[in-house]
Amino acid sequence: MASPSATTSSDALRERFARLARERRKALVPYITAGHPTPGRSLELMAALEAAGADVIEVGVPFSDPMADGPVIQASSQAALAQGMTFDRTLALVRDARLSIPVVLFSYLNPIVAAGPDALARAAAAGVYGILVT
């Protein structure tokens, strides 16, 4: 899927959900933590989720203090961070996955701010279609 622009990304997500509504289907939007259990396995998981029929994939950006998350996501986030996963490495995973379905990042605000003022532009260039911020 081509890297989305600010307009095409929101349009693509809107169209995806509109199509599902027309088909009277619910969206399948699985979540993975980037880099867990390993970066390579994350790529395999994204490809497998797409092949299994996911409509959108939500990719979590690991964060050192994920207090709003439950114990499973906290543990996966800590494990990914221990392997060196960062905001930019998460973007590299999304880019390398080359999926034909939209990817939405789920992140705390802190990693986005720490990634710098052009973090969202870099995310769009990597193929991210939206960002959910906690």
Q: Of the residues 15, 23, 55, 58, which is catalytic?
A: 58
Active site residue 50: no
pLDDT digits (tens, 9 = 90+) for 80-117: 999 999 999 999 999 999 999 999 999 999 999 999 99
Buried b (16+ CB within 10 A) or exposed e, 55-71: bbbbbbbbbeebeebee
Kindly tell me if the per-residue pLDDT of 5 is higher than 90. Answer: no
CB-neighbour burial class of residue 109 (10 A; exposed 0-12, middle 13-18, buried 19+): exposed
The confidence score (pLDDT) of residue 113 equals 97
Kindly tell me if the per-residue pLDDT of 65 is higher than 80. Answer: yes
Cα(125)–Cα(103) distance, integer angstroms: 12
Q: Of the residues 69, 88, 96, 118, which is catalytic?
A: 69
Active site residue 69: yes
User: Is the full-model pTM beyond 0.85?
Assistant: yes
Kindly tell me if the per-residue pLDDT of 4 is higher than 70. Answer: no
Domains and CATH numbers, the chain: 6-133 (3.20.20.70)
- pLDDT > 90 fraction of the chain, expressed in percent and rounded: 84
Give the start-end residues of each E strand in 61-121. Answer: 103-107
